[in-house]
Structure 1
Amino acid sequence: MYTGRAQKHPVPPVLFGIILILIWMISALHSSAQTSQLVETEHTISASPQNPDSLLLQLKANYNSSVKQSNEKEAAGYLQQIGGLLFISGHYPQSLDYLLQAEKIYRNLNEKKSLAENLNMLGELYYRTRRPQLARKQYDEALGIYKNLKQESGKAEIYGRIGHLYEKREMYDSAFYFQQKALQSYQLDRHIDGAAKIYENIGSIYEDLEKYDSAFFYFNKAHALNAQTHNARAQVEVVNNLGDVLRKTGQFREGLKYSMQSLQLAQSNGERYQISSAYNDMAKAYNLLSRNDSAFHYLTLSRSLLNDIYSEESNKQLALLQTLYEIEKKDNEIAQLTQARRIDTLISIATVVVIILVIVVAALIISQQRLKIRNEQKLRAQHKQVYEAQNQLMEVELKNKKLEEENLKQQLETKTQELSSYTLHIIRKNQLLEDLRTKLDEMIKDDKRDQRKQIKSLSEQISEGLQDNQHWEEFRGIFEQVHQSFFDRLQLQTGPLTANDLRLIALIKMNLTSTDIATLLGISQDSLRVIRHRLRKKLNIAAGDNLSAYIQSI
């Protein structure tokens, strides 16, 4: 009917430009409106609740009832629904708070499936608030849970969302990959509606790439699957997409038919956003067909309906905000009253407890004081007895120690005398043997050859007697009794020493003269000096330090 009017009264070029600008503006508004809706899942709230404020009050009341009944799982479900409602309404910070509360409960209860659904919603929220990295983190965790639970539909939904993330970043290869993964999972689960949605997503990617034949092919497959399940609501958007593709490829009349079909479906389902979108698409088609009066008419209808929708949505938003404010205010008041009651109760209990404790403590103190006095009297008597007994024991021990000390002194004097006597005996013996050997050596030098061999043998026997180690072992035993642990302390301060070194050190420790030491060892004074010099090196004694003083200090 508008065609005739267009022929009689051609639309001026200025109006044509205005129509194009209005179409672009309304398309942008539709795009913004569509992105503000949460994609429906099996357990989410409807994307367009008629009375969100009433629904919020009902959900809050149900949540409070679950909390009173200590039903944590049910309470978490209501928290999730409240978060979903607030998300759909565009109240993202409040939605995030409720969804995080639900997540915490699901984790504590180890409710894997519910947790995965909640993570899915959190991922969508982070995506809407332009935080794709956080969104991907939620999706990945949810995907891991669905894989463990072997739930193909859950996996498919997450794959589709990840693919959508890549599509928005124009990473189309990755977007195709994840959408194909989603399609495989939906087909394994025989989820026709889900598969239809993925075909639609793949068609959108091809449309972004301006591959309109492929886009039309996949949109048409989605259309066929939605027809099988009679999913009229999903069919509205698919038919709309088919019309867009045809219009973009220059098939304006065919595209207009699909836009009209989309309008009928939207009207039958009461989808006002889709009705407005269909009006806008029809305006585009008529504009491209140079029927600008019809384009202007449908553009006006679209804008008018969109204004009505936004007006209603604004009213709903205001009502929801007021309800949310009142709920939060009421919750704060309840929390304050509860806290005040708890404080009053605690103060009362504390007062009673303090009074009881004061009485008990006073009684205990009196009882303790009496008991303490009695115990002190007993302790004094016991201490007196113990003191007297200890004095007697100390006197006895003192006497015993004095006796032991005198006994030890006597033993030490005896051992010292024995050591000295033994040493003197050895010195006399060695001196006698040395004199005999000297005389025998003189006799050997005489001309009496027949006695020479016998005297030489006798001299050798005397030399062996001078070097006999048996007497040294006996001497060492007596020496260690007098000078206890002397050799052990010596070994700690020096390196390894020979038996001859130890023998020389023991003789020096006894303060013997060099002559006596040489006699006992059966060596000359010159040999003794050489041995002492070697011993100084082994003991690392610095030049100028006295060897005898060093040994005496050990």
Structure 2
Amino acid sequence: MPVNCKFYLKAAFLFLICLTHPEKTEARETPGQELKRTLELSNRFPDSAFVLLKKLHHKALANNDKRTIGVCLQQMGKICYAQGHYAQSLDYHQQADKLFRQLNEKNLLADNFNDMGVVYYQNFNKKSSRKQYDEALKLYKSTNNMIGLGETYGHIGHLYEKQQRYDSAFYYQRHALSEYQMAGYKQGVAKIYENLGSIHEDLVRYDSARFYFNESLLLYKAVNNEVSSIEVVNNLGDILRKTGNYKEGLKMTRKALSLSIATKNEYQQASAYRDIAKSYNLMGQNDSAYHYMELSRKHLLHLYSDENNKQMSFLQIVYNIDKKNDEIAALENSRKLNLIISIAVVVVILLLVVMGLLTISRQRLKLRENIAIAEKNEQLSRAQQEQLEHKSRELTTHTLQVIQHNNFLDSMRNKLEEMIKEDKRDQKKQLLQVVRQINQNINHDQQWKDFTQVFEQLHQSFFDSLKAHCEDLTVNDIRLIALLKMNMSSKDMAVIFGISQDSLRVARYRLRKKLNISQGDNLSNFIQTI
């Protein structure tokens, strides 16, 4: 397994220990002890680590704990990367990226940028890899995170080394070394010494390469990092072999083999067997070279087979977890749907009740308004009826007064006419004048105006219908019709008009013609039906 894969698994389990057993990580273990125990767990149980992370992730989702969700996704991405599932790893890191941006967690976001940079590099996308590292640098500088800066500078230097741009590679590795030294982070310093040794080895500067590898080995031993130590010991064996010191190089490689067997690191065992085979080949001992090369091949085949099995097992675990989570999510969605439906039913019922109450309330209010309007209309109708009755009484009284007034005047006129017939010639002129004045008062226009005004108020619709029936009626015709409407007797009508009954019959005849009343139909009945 590549060293960077082990690093990510180690980091994932360190995170798990901190989350699941915080009491064990608080001042009870040194960082070196925690790192060693986590390394052992990560090498042996990556599947279990992923399962635990999935459980923590699901619990964090239920609690809407975005920070924990993001960290779980990031760590799952690291495990997927270590297992060789780069697409899935990148997906987890990108999901974590969104959450860290929302939370403005700069250091976590920068860590995640570095992780994505490694994934992009592994997929030969150096441009995207460098972009992630640059983003991480900006954030680490803003938080003055020296360890983060050292790691990112180291990644950038590694990019340049693989492009054989060694000046730039040295530049960034030295920056990384400076940051780690200021932070007092021995593990980081050891890694940079190893990187510098690798660059010098590429440049065939074997003395400088050996110096940096030795410095790196001392620091790895100081922090008990056996896995990284094996790789450095192997590198020292390569330097000795390349400089012609085959025996010393073989001893160093055998030391690396012993360490890899002790730590059950099959990848380093295969590498050590291969390097031993190279040494024997250079020493002319081809039988031994073939033997160790065959051992290396067998270990590599077993390693790849084991890795494939682990990957298949890991994929099955991921599938089972996703399937279980989907089932749980479906069950929760079903429960939520049932809850939503229940709430919706209750809300609809409440709305119906409220609407019913509002409808009843509005009906009651409308009923009260209708009752109030009816009462008001009734009061108005009574008032109008009373007013009409009052007007009718006024009209009747007025008519009776007119009749009495005219009867009195008619009586006076008759008496005066008899006096005129007498032989007293000296009074005749004066008496004639009095008679003329009485005649003038019998049909006084003001009285008729008052009468007509009151009558029209009482019988407005009657007059509207009358006008529609016949428009060329005279004032006297209308007065006659009004008296007929009141069922006035012919005698009284003659008195009111101050004419004889014969004259009244002529007036009635003319009115019948104007109204187009058929022969035999009663005028009074016709007037009453209008």
TM > 0.5? yes
Local SS of the residue matching 1:157: helix
Query: What TM-score, normalized by structure 2, do the two folds share?
Result: 0.60
Of residues 323, 338, 353, the one that matches 1:359 is 353
Say whether the 8 Å CA contact 2:271–2:296 is kept in structure 1: yes
Q: Provide the residue aligned with 1:247 in structure 2.
A: 241
Residue 283 of structure 1 pairs with residue 277 of structure 2: yes
For residues 120 and 44 of structure 1, the distance between their equivalents in structure 2, rounded to whole angstroms, comes to 15
Q: Provide the residue aligned with 1:268 in structure 2.
A: 262
Q: Provide the residue aligned with 1:349 in structure 2.
A: 343
Aligned pairs for 1:396-407 within 5 A: none
Residue 155 of structure 1 pairs with residue 155 of structure 2: no
Q: Which amino acid aligns with 1:43?
A: A
CA drift at 1:274:
0.8
For residues 65 and 83 of structure 1, the distance between their equivalents in structure 2, rounded to whole angstroms, comes to 18
Classify 1:232/1:345 alpha carbon distance in 2 versus 1 (closer, same or farther; 3 Å): closer
For residues 131 and 368 of structure 2, the distance between their equivalents in structure 1, rounded to whole angstroms, comes to 74
Task: Between 176-185 and 228-237, report the one with greater CA deviation.
Answer: 228-237
Classify 1:42/1:138 alpha carbon distance in 2 versus 1 (closer, same or farther; 3 Å): farther
Aligned pairs for 1:436-475 within 5 A: none
For residues 141 and 295 of structure 2, the distance between their equivalents in structure 1, rounded to whole angstroms, comes to 48
Alignment length, in residue pairs? 351
Classify 1:367/1:239 alpha carbon distance in 2 versus 1 (closer, same or farther; 3 Å): same
Query: What TM-score, normalized by structure 1, do the two folds share?
Result: 0.58
Of residues 138, 159, 175, the one that matches 1:165 is 159
CA drift at 1:56:
2.1
Aligned pairs for 1:181-192 within 5 A: 181-192=175-186
Say whether the 8 Å CA contact 1:136–1:162 is kept in structure 2: yes
Classify 1:362/1:348 alpha carbon distance in 2 versus 1 (closer, same or farther; 3 Å): same
For residues 255-298 of structure 1, give each alpha carbon's deviation from its aligned partner in whole angstroms, at most 9, with x where no partner exists: 22221121122223322211111110000110111101111111
Residue 334 of structure 1 pairs with residue 302 of structure 2: no
Local SS of the residue matching 1:261: helix
Of residues 193, 201, 222, the one that matches 1:199 is 193
For residues 442-478 of structure 1, give each alpha carbon's deviation from its aligned partner in whole angstroms, at most 9, with x where no partner exists: xxxxxxxxxxxxxxxxxxxxxxxxxxxxxxxxxxxxx
For residues 394-432 of structure 1, give each alpha carbon's deviation from its aligned partner in whole angstroms, at most 9, with x where no partner exists: xxxxxxxxxxxxxxxxxxxxxxxxxxxxxxxxxxxxxxx
Say whether the 8 Å CA contact 1:163–1:179 is kept in structure 2: yes
Q: Provide the residue aligned with 2:306 in structure 1.
A: 312
For residues 62 and 224 of structure 1, the distance between their equivalents in structure 2, rounded to whole angstroms, comes to 38
Of residues 282, 287, 295, the one that matches 1:293 is 287
For residues 222-259 of structure 1, give each alpha carbon's deviation from its aligned partner in whole angstroms, at most 9, with x where no partner exists: 23433444543322111211222232333333322221
Classify 1:342/1:254 alpha carbon distance in 2 versus 1 (closer, same or farther; 3 Å): same
For residues 36 and 308 of structure 1, the distance between their equivalents in structure 2, rounded to whole angstroms, comes to 21
Residue 259 of structure 1 pairs with residue 253 of structure 2: yes
Q: Provide the residue aligned with 2:11 in structure 1.
A: 43
For residues 221 and 255 of structure 1, the distance between their equivalents in structure 2, rounded to whole angstroms, comes to 18
Classify 1:163/1:225 alpha carbon distance in 2 versus 1 (closer, same or farther; 3 Å): same
CA drift at 1:366:
4.2
For residues 343 and 70 of structure 1, the distance between their equivalents in structure 2, rounded to whole angstroms, comes to 19
CA drift at 1:369:
4.9
For residues 224 and 91 of structure 2, the distance between their equivalents in structure 1, rounded to whole angstroms, comes to 37
For residues 11 and 227 of structure 2, the distance between their equivalents in structure 1, rounded to whole angstroms, comes to 17
Q: Provide the residue aligned with 1:223 in structure 2.
A: 217
Structure 2 alignment gaps of length 5 or more: 14-38, 381-530
For residues 303 and 224 of structure 2, the distance between their equivalents in structure 1, rounded to whole angstroms, comes to 27
Classify 1:230/1:362 alpha carbon distance in 2 versus 1 (closer, same or farther; 3 Å): closer
For residues 226 and 88 of structure 1, the distance between their equivalents in structure 2, rounded to whole angstroms, comes to 21
For residues 474-502 of structure 1, give each alpha carbon's deviation from its aligned partner in whole angstroms, at most 9, with x where no partner exists: xxxxxxxxxxxxxxxxxxxxxxxxxxxxx
For residues 56 and 175 of structure 2, the distance between their equivalents in structure 1, rounded to whole angstroms, comes to 38
Classify 1:135/1:112 alpha carbon distance in 2 versus 1 (closer, same or farther; 3 Å): same
Classify 1:332/1:229 alpha carbon distance in 2 versus 1 (closer, same or farther; 3 Å): closer
Say whether the 8 Å CA contact 2:181–2:189 is kept in structure 1: yes
Residue 136 of structure 1 pairs with residue 130 of structure 2: yes
CA drift at 1:107:
3.0
For residues 232 and 263 of structure 2, the distance between their equivalents in structure 1, rounded to whole angstroms, comes to 14
Q: CA RMSD in A?
A: 2.9
Residue 86 of structure 1 pairs with residue 80 of structure 2: yes
Aligned pairs for 1:32-111 within 5 A: 33-34=1-2, 37=5, 39-40=7-8, 43-45=11-13, 46=39, 49-111=43-105
CA drift at 1:320:
0.9
CA drift at 1:71:
4.1
Aligned pairs for 1:457-536 within 5 A: none
For residues 237 and 178 of structure 1, the distance between their equivalents in structure 2, rounded to whole angstroms, comes to 22
Of residues 125, 140, 145, the one that matches 1:146 is 140
Q: Provide the residue aligned with 1:393 in structure 2.
A: none
Classify 1:375/1:130 alpha carbon distance in 2 versus 1 (closer, same or farther; 3 Å): farther
Structure 1 alignment gaps of length 5 or more: 1-32, 386-554
Classify 1:379/1:177 alpha carbon distance in 2 versus 1 (closer, same or farther; 3 Å): farther
Classify 1:342/1:229 alpha carbon distance in 2 versus 1 (closer, same or farther; 3 Å): closer
Say whether the 8 Å CA contact 1:167–1:175 is kept in structure 2: yes
Classify 1:322/1:378 alpha carbon distance in 2 versus 1 (closer, same or farther; 3 Å): same
Classify 1:281/1:56 alpha carbon distance in 2 versus 1 (closer, same or farther; 3 Å): same
Task: Between 133-142 and 326-335, report the one with greater CA deviation.
Answer: 133-142
Local SS of the residue matching 2:43: coil
Classify 1:35/1:42 alpha carbon distance in 2 versus 1 (closer, same or farther; 3 Å): closer
Say whether the 8 Å CA contact 1:252–1:285 is kept in structure 2: yes
